[in-house]
Amino acid sequence: MKTKLLIIGSGPAGYTAGVYAGRAGIEPVLIEGIQPGGQLTTTTEVENFPGFPEGIDANELMENMRQQAERFGTKILSNIVTKADLGTKPYKVWLDDGEEIQADAVIIATGASAKYLGLADEQKFMGQGVSACATCDGFFYRKKVVAVVGGGDTACEEASYLAGLASKVYLIVRKPFLRASQIMQDRVLNNEKIEVLFETNTLGLYGENGVEGAHLIYKKGEAGERKYDLPIDGFFLAIGHHPNSDLFAPWLKRDELGYIMTDGDSPRTNVAGVFAAGDVADPHYRQAIIAAASGAKAAMEAEKYIKDHE
């Protein structure tokens, strides 16, 4: 298959790029990827996306975006990209069924994946007390008790954010110190609602119809090791994200964490005609509305690139 514009990814960035490019008459092809609808589909309700005063179910929001992209002629394929070649024009990708797609321009909107501890209970309670996004789900824990796992800037930021809503926040840190910047550490350590549990790991979660507590271990494998249960209503992971950019590593400049580097505020990558939008190029904000906006920018840039090279 040959297309003028290939969009890889079906989160807010990918679908918004589809809406904009479709309305520009480009008829883009969009590959959905492993998680149709993107990271947002792992949460429940979205209350901070403008236009929905009562909030909207995350899956409904993404389905709406999908339909809007299709309405303007975006061809959506339920496939996964397994291989890419951005070395020569036309750019090429291969799908899991072996099909080759050639494209004059490419928008990479493959997102980032939150890291999880790998506990079976995380999957069991996903959306029922387990979350990897305090900004998305914190509001549901007003006046409740929550725990955040991690000792970096994200964990401190999420713990501080949650402390503004919850009655109590535990920060579960595996080392005897925080890795976060001094200012974030100070913010956490000086917040009377936050209690830091150093040298503590999570063994599992328990609860009947949602998280009711965590099984913890203090000083694992050392003198003074102690296992105990901590009653909590919410369990937030903040141990880092992994941008889904590995497929494009041979051609694209990435930072030390793997985020695709773009030209300042624009979505242009170091390869002409290849653009990056959404969380795969955003180590900081990681919000649906910001991803959507960057998808719009990428489509506008792609349209210009395609016209200039016709």
**152 lies in the binding site for ligand NDP (CB under 6 A):** yes
What number of residues does the chain have? 310
CB of 306 to ligand NDP, least distance (A): 34
Contacting range for ligand NDP; rule: CB under 6 A; set: 96-104, 152-160, 212-220, 296-304: 152-160
CB of 202 to ligand NDP, least distance (A): 8
Distance CA 128, CA 246 (A): 31
Binding mask 43-82 for ligand NDP (x = CB under 6 A): ----------------------------------------
Strand partners, 83: 94
Measured from the CB atom, is 202 or 294 closer to ligand NDP? 202
Say which amino acid occupies 242.
Answer: H
List the alpha helices (DSSP H) in 26-181. Answer: 58-71, 120-124, 134-137, 153-163
What is the DSSP code string of 227-293?
EEEEE-SEEEE-S-EEES-GGGTTTS-B-TTSPBP-STTS-B-SSTTEEE-GGGG-SS---HHHHHH
Measured from the CB atom, is 34 or 197 closer to ligand NDP? 197
**187 lies in the binding site for ligand NDP (CB under 6 A):** no
CB of 198 to ligand NDP, least distance (A): 11
Tokens of 197: 């549990």
Measured from the CB atom, is 73 or 152 closer to ligand NDP? 152
Q: How far is CA 181 from CA 156, 178, 243, in A?
A: 9, 8, 22
User: Is 156 considered catalytic here?
Assistant: no
Tokens of 282: 């955003």
By CB under 6 A, name the one of 7, 149, 288, 306 that touches ligand NDP. Answer: 149
Closest residue (Cβ) to ligand NDP?
152
**240 lies in the binding site for ligand NDP (CB under 6 A):** yes
Give catalytic residues, as residue numbers: 133, 136-137
